[in-house]
Each structure stands twice: as C-alpha cells, then as structure tokens.
Structure 1
Amino acid sequence: MTHSTLILGQTFETWGNPLTRPWEEVARIRSGGGVLVQNGVIAAVGDGAALRRDHPNVAVTDYGDALISPGFIDAHVHYPQTAMIASWGKRLIDWLNIYTFPEEMRLADPAYAARIADRYLDLALDHGTTTMSSFATIHPGSVDAFFDAALSRGLRAVTGKTCMDRNAPDGLRDTAQSAYDDSRALIARWQGRGRLGYAITPRFSPTSTPDQLEALGALWAEYPDCLMQTHLSEQTDEIAWVRDLFPQARDYLDTYEAHGLLGARGVYGHAIHLEPREVDRLAEVGAAVVHCPTSNTFIGSGLMDLAALAARGIPAGLATDTGGGSSFSMLRTMAAAYEIGQLRGTPLHAAHLMYLATAGSARSLHLQDCIGTLAPGMEADLVVLNLASTPAIAQRSAEARDVWEQVFATLMMGDDRAVKDVWIAGQRRVAARQGRVSRR
C-alpha cells in the first residue's frame, strides 16, 4: 500500500554546483512549492497548487512561507566529543590531550557510548541535521552504539572505528592488526545495513604508525565501496609534527597516499594549509575535502581557501566538526563559512551556503544519488525552516528585498529555534523537547 504525503511551502532546489557555476543557473527558491512523498521517497517536486490539484486524496502538511530544504548533512563530526564541546582555548594537540582523549576513553563503556550516541543524534536532529559522517573511538562498541542509535531513528549515517596505535594514551591505542581486524568485522556487520555506511577511519597520520596506515590501506583496497575519512593539514604545528614523523613523505597528503589511503572515496577534513602538489593530487583522484569553519576558528587552525579548491573541481562538504567545532548547528556553521569567505575575499551567497550543507556534503560522502537535493527518487529527508523564528530575524526578514535575503538572515542569525520540522525518510520527527515544539 502506497503511503503518500504532500508537503507545501517554499522549496530550496538545486541541480548543479553553484561554487563552479553562477548560482542563479543552478539554484532557486520556489514560492508556493510542494514536495510529494511516497513511501519515504520524493515522488515529485513542483508547484504546490498543481500538485495538490493532481493528487486530491493525499494527506497535506502545509508550512505556509517556511522553507523546505533537503535535510542538512554534516560531513565530519566526532560524536564521542559531544559532552566536551566548547572546551576552552587550546591548540589542536593540547586540546586533544587535555579534553578529547580523556572523554573518548569513557566510551570503552558500551552503556556510556550508547547514551552519548543518543544524545548526539537527538541534538543533531533538533538542529535539522538528518545525515552525518562521524568518527567513533578505537572501541568497536562505540561504532555499534552509533549505528544502533542511527538505525533506530531510520537515519542515513556513516561512521567508523577511529584507529590509533601511537601518540595517544594507553586506553586509546590499538595495533595495526587489531585496527584491521576490528574494522573488517565492523564492515561485515554494518556496511549497507539499513541506511548505514562504513568509513575506514585513521584519525590522522600522527596517531598511526606506517604499519597501521598500510594495514588500513590494504583494508580499503579490499572494500573499495567504503569511504575513508581522516584529517589533513589542519594546523601548521600539526604539519610540522607530521614532517618529523614521516621524513620521507613529500607532504602531509603523501603520508596517506604512500599507504593506499588516497582515492576518490577519500574524505579529508579541514584541508587548510595545502601544498600545490596536494591540491593537484586531490583534484586528480576526485577526493573530497570538508570545510569545518567553526572548528577552524575556535581552535585557531586557519582559513580554508574553499573558493580555490572548488575552482579545481575538488568536491567540498560542510561540517560542524562537533567537539572541535563549537556548535551542533549547520546554520551556525554556514554563518562561519560566510565569515571565513569574507576574510578570504570570496563571500558566499545563501545559495552557496545551502548547497554546501546539503548537496555539497552529499557529494563529498558519495551519497548524492540518494540525499541532498529535492528531486524525484531521492530519499525524503527534509528540514523545514521558519524564516522568522526570533524577533531579531523576523524584523530583518520583514525588510528583505527577496526570499534569498530572508534565507540569508536565518543562516546568519538562526539556531535550533529556526528548525520548524524535520522529516526522516518521509516520516515527521517528534522532537524530544515537546515544549519547544509547542511554542512554534
């Protein structure tokens, strides 16, 4: 039996990359739009009145002037760092040792891992994020906890056991062999189950010996349909450390490439301080980078040159980098991306920002065939944004010259109060905080 719903409102639609083409040619907001959902999949997108006329017996949810968008896709997060987000003021390596590693050790307890996974996913959903690619910890149970929580919510999600066999505390080190064995077993258990995908996950080169990187490269060759996620060129002192640890490497990216960890399904977080050769190789193989603007400013890493990387055709996603990033909100993340673009002299339009948080992140995770755009055949993961969610935003929205200015105000000033509703595979989500929902 077909289950159908017609969702009405303004619709954000893209059919190309506005980072490489004029945004006006590949993006629009349709006033009075509609999305017809059948059995969890988008069946049609178009004029709302016409869809209502053509499908008179379908249940209707009418959001008026609210904006219907593909659900936000967070392309690089650390769910184990949920409880220590917004920890004060350290450089990356100090920050890892003081805050991150002690917290990640707590996820050796499966019950604690399950609580944090539930907490993180509920917070992400409250902020309109419907898909995320997360690092776990070295503990296989932390992967199970995240995937169990995502599966129970019907989410499309990605994670992987974070592998580290050096430069980490005793409770957070595995070995080259156990990293391979554990990851292989987790792939067999989770890859392709429900809407889940596995990412082979070396944390970054400083915490993996060449033997471990080699083992994970061999694993990726065995399972080329998996993603491979890691960090690349986040801070200058980190890069100097990599140079000391890998004196034979041509550059940071070469520490991965030399061990079989560079490829089209590679996803490299941060990618701020890249050498020309690294940019060339990322472009040649079609690997993706992920922009983490709130993290990059919060930890003092630097200003990613997104425009230059996009000009080379390198796929780019957007991410909160939860833990290092200071917010669970992709709206706040879009605002930070705009601010960094301004500092770089390459300001981003609302169409660019919305693309990065939806279709761009989907492309970076090789999920562009199932999520990230409003189009027939795509899975019906949606976020509905109230474009006048607070008095400050409402007064600016009332003065806007067009709908793009209204959207931009919400991207710059919005938070979870702007998230009017969330749909997962065609099902409305009942938010955990009922009181907040009733105020909307």
Structure 2
Amino acid sequence: MPDLLLGQTLVFDADPFAEGPGAARHDAHGAVLIEGGHIAALGPAEVLRPAHPGARVHDYGRALISAGFVDCHMHYPQTGIIASWGRRLIDWLDRYTFPEEMRLADPAHARTIAALACDLAIDHGTTTFASYCTTAAHSADAIFEAAATRGLRIIAGRTCMDRNAPPGLVDTPERAAEETAALIARWHGRGRAGYAITPRFAPTSSPAQLAALGALWAAHPDCAMQTHLSEQTEEVAWVAELFPAARDYLDVYAGAGLCGPGAVFGHAIHLTARERAHLARSGAGVAHCPTSNTFIGSGLCDVAGLKADGIAVGLASDTGGGSSFSMLRTMAAAYEVGQLRGRALHPAELWWLATGGSAEVLRLGDRVGRLAPGMEADVVVIDLDSTRAIAQRAARAETLWEALFPTIMMGDDRAVRAVWADGRCLRARGVAPDQGAARPAAPPCPPTKEER
C-alpha cells in the first residue's frame, strides 16, 4: 500500500548558492507519495490525495516535509566521547579518540556502538551518513549491518593507519589494502551501502600506505575516498615535516592518487590558493564540520568562498569531535561561522548543505538529498514550533524562511516529528526504530486518523 504524507513541502530544483533562495519551492499544502521505497509523486495535497484514494494517509498538518538529512562526515566509534572537554586536534586523538577506538577491538562493543550511532542519527532526522570506522575490519561490518537493519543509506570504511598511533591501532600498508579490498567485496553496492577507502589523515599513514590505498581506489573508482585535510595549523605544519617534498597538504593526497571525484575531505579550513584551485579542478568535495571546528578550536571554514570557487561542499556533524548529533544544530553552527567570516548563509543555503549539498559531495545526488519523483524515499518531518521559544518566534514569520530559521538556530531532536528511510517510517513521536534483524513489514508509525 502506498503512503501519502501531507504537510508543508520543501523542494530544491537547484543549488541555492548558485541560483539563490528561488532554487527552492515551498508548498504550504503539499503531499509526497511513497511507494516501493521511492518517491512516486509530489505536488499539492488537493491533487494527490483524491488521485490516490487507496494510499495510507499521514497528515502532519503544518509540519515541514523535507528530504532526510545527509551527514557527509562522522566517526561512529567516537559516539561515546562526544562533548569531551578541553583538547585540540592532536591532543584529542591521543586523549580521547585512540583509547575509545581501541575499545571497539571487542566485536560486541563495536556492534553496540554502531547500533547506538544509527539510532541517534534517526532521532535527529539523519537518513544518510558517511562514517569512519576503526582499523578493525569488524568495526566496518558492525556499522554496515546496523544501517542495513534500519534501512539507512550509508557510506563507511575501515580506517587505515600505519604510524603515529598506538600499537593496538596501527596496521601495515599490506594489511590495510587487503582488508579494505575484502570489505569492498563484502559491502560496496550491497543494499543501501557504499564503501569509502579511508586513510585517517596524512600524519597516520606512511607514503607506502597512501600509495597502496591510491592504487586500490584506482581499481574501484566507484567507491568514495574520505580523509581529513587542513583542519588545524599544527596539523598542517606536521604534514609539512612528514612530507617535505610535497608542495602542500593536498599535494600529499594527490601524489598518492587520492584526490578526484568521490574524494571527501573533512574540514579544509587552512587551504592555500593552489589547494583551492586543485580541489575545484579535481571534482573532490569538502565536508564542512562547524561544530567540530569551533569546539576544538580549528578555525572558520570559508564555505561561501569554496562554493564560489566551484568546490562541492556538504555539511557534517563530525561526531564525536563535533559537539552535536543534530544537523539542525550543525546548520546553526554553519550560520555562526559564516557570520564570523562576514558572509551569513541564507536558510535555503543551510538546508541545502544538510541535504542535497551533502548528497552531491558523496556522489549520491541522484538518489537522496532531494524530494523528487524517482528519488529514494528518505524523508524528515520537522515541527516548526517544537518548543515555546521557537513557536513564539515562528509565529511572527511572514515567509517560509522566517518560519524555518528559528528551528535551524534553536531546534534539536524535539523538532523531528517523523523519519522515513527507504520508504518506511522509522520514528514518529516516541516510536522507536525496529531493533530486530529484519525490518518490519509495515511502518511502525502511530495509526492515522483515517486508520483509527
């Protein structure tokens, strides 16, 4: 039976950074028809409702129906250490990240954290995410399995490190390449899963390991490649010491064959003009991680400038270096960073970064990130008056953007009224996702008025 979602709809026909806020269309009385895991139709409710009398109706009133959020850079093994106090990047890795990732050497613990990370994503309306794992191959299996059980779209990869990390986490170029190749064969293209070849960052991979991973990517170009770039000034200086022959940080990756379409570089704050030009030419993308960049004192990413240079940019939580699981809070931080750089991002640009922009960075823009016929049915339904503070401000709004902006700036998981992934309702106002090995035959949403 098809499902018909009623409410306000927000549809992007283009990138608002290029076309302005008019790239988005708003229907105050819209509808989205879901069938067979895809969006079958969308348009005015008064048109679609009588045209599909057999559909199961979910009337969300004045709530906003949008494409589900897409988080293009996070670290699921760091879920438990989010909001840990007082460190910068290198200290953060040594004090928090590496010890926590060693705990995932236990496969049972890896499965527990993977399940929690997926459920927290659903809580906050995220239906697609790209995640780093640990150097243990089973940590990648754990997150792929957890996402598949819930119907989430995922890109993930076993993290590769053969130096400058604790003995319990380092591998070798050979082991990294062999285990990555096995994981690609096991998961890439299976269901809603995609694989990302994943060197953590240049300081923890030798030239030999980077070259081995570059060769592997050349053999599997439909995979993604994710790593970190120019997050903090100390890191940039360290890379210059470790790779003295490289012209700059990005040149390290490019020289190893790790820069091109499908490459996702986290942060990209302290870039040279040459690096920006190379990113634009290569077709690589940037994951903007504003809560992380402010939380651990990295700096202020020039999002508007990168977009003006023709570089694809998406939005990311970077949990647990990022301080929130919420893409709403991440949008708010991106707005604040933009203000500090002298270019406030419009609400349409912020929403695009968290949906279609991130999807394009992950080369998934033809499948997720927008409401359009034929797209996979990943949907988030957002209350625009989820708290008293938000409601009183939204009540004064004269436009959609004025009504939506208070939720961007002050919203959290309380604003997430319902979450749909792969055509199934995973959560609606206190209804938890299915935890079993198989997904439910029917959406676990509360019955609609017409069903009672």
TM-score (norm 1): 0.97
- Where structure 1 has 5 or more consecutive residues not aligned to the other structure, the ranges are none
Q: Which residue of 2 aligns with 1:260?
A: 257
How many residue pairs get aligned? The number is 434
Alpha carbons 1:217, 1:260 under 8 Å: kept: yes
Q: How many angstroms apart in 2 are the aligned matches of 1:17 and 1:103?
A: 38
Q: Which residue of 2 aligns with 1:199?
A: 196
Which residue type is aligned with residue 290 of structure 1?
A
CA positional deviation for 1:22 = 1.7
Is residue 214 of structure 2 the alignment partner of residue 242 of structure 1? no
Is residue 305 of structure 2 the alignment partner of residue 308 of structure 1? yes
Alpha carbons 1:122, 1:432 under 8 Å: kept: no
Q: How many angstroms apart in 1 are the aligned matches of 2:373 and 2:17?
A: 23
Q: How many angstroms apart in 1 are the aligned matches of 2:344 and 2:117?
A: 31
Is residue 316 of structure 2 the alignment partner of residue 319 of structure 1? yes
Alignment of 1:111-126 (within 5 A): 111-126=108-123
Alignment of 1:240-389 (within 5 A): 240-389=237-386
Q: Which residue of 2 aligns with 1:18?
A: 16
Change (3 A) 1:63 1:432: closer
Q: How many angstroms apart in 2 are the aligned matches of 1:122 and 1:429?
A: 10
Aligned-residue RMSD, C-alpha: 1.2
Q: Which runs of 4+ in 1 moved over 4 A?
A: 431-435
Q: How many angstroms apart in 2 are the aligned matches of 1:56 and 1:119?
A: 38
Alpha carbons 2:314, 2:361 under 8 Å: kept: yes
Which residue type is aligned with residue 321 of structure 2?
G
Alignment of 1:79-228 (within 5 A): 79-228=76-225
Which residue type is aligned with residue 5 of structure 1?
D
Q: How many angstroms apart in 1 are the aligned matches of 2:401 and 2:63?
A: 13
CA positional deviation for 1:404 = 1.3
Q: Which residue of 1 aligns with 2:424?
A: 427
Change (3 A) 1:210 1:75: same
Which residue type is aligned with residue 149 of structure 2?
S
Q: How many angstroms apart in 2 are the aligned matches of 1:72 and 1:57?
A: 29
Q: How many angstroms apart in 2 are the aligned matches of 1:94 and 1:22?
A: 41
Q: How many angstroms apart in 2 are the aligned matches of 1:249 and 1:434?
A: 52
Which residue type is aligned with residue 87 of structure 1?
S
Alpha carbons 2:73, 2:129 under 8 Å: kept: yes
Alpha carbons 2:160, 2:176 under 8 Å: kept: yes
Is residue 27 of structure 2 the alignment partner of residue 43 of structure 1? no
> Residue 108 of structure 1 aligns to a residue in which SS?
coil
CA positional deviation for 1:432 = 9.6
Q: How many angstroms apart in 2 are the aligned matches of 1:213 and 1:137?
A: 17
Change (3 A) 1:433 1:47: closer
Alpha carbons 2:203, 2:242 under 8 Å: kept: yes
CA positional deviation for 1:36 = 0.8
Q: How many angstroms apart in 2 are the aligned matches of 1:94 and 1:430?
A: 37
Which residue type is aligned with residue 312 of structure 1?
D
> Residue 400 of structure 1 aligns to a residue in which SS?
coil
- Where structure 2 has 5 or more consecutive residues not aligned to the other structure, the ranges are 433-444, 447-452
Which residue type is aligned with residue 117 of structure 2?
Y
Alpha carbons 2:2, 2:54 under 8 Å: kept: no
CA positional deviation for 1:53 = 1.8
Q: How many angstroms apart in 1 are the aligned matches of 2:234 and 2:199?
A: 19
Percent of matched pairs sharing the same residue: 62
Q: How many angstroms apart in 2 are the aligned matches of 1:284 and 1:430?
A: 41
CA positional deviation for 1:28 = 2.2
Q: How many angstroms apart in 2 are the aligned matches of 1:215 and 1:177?
A: 8
Which of 1, 4, 7 aligns to 2:5? It is 7
After superposition, give the CA deviation of every residue in 1:347-367 in whole Å (9 maximum; x if it has no partner): 111111110000000000000
After superposition, give the CA deviation of every residue in 1:124-143 in whole Å (9 maximum; x if it has no partner): 10000011000000000000
Alpha carbons 1:126, 1:431 under 8 Å: kept: no
After superposition, give the CA deviation of every residue in 1:65-87 in whole Å (9 maximum; x if it has no partner): 00000000000000000001011
Which residue type is aligned with residue 288 of structure 1?
G
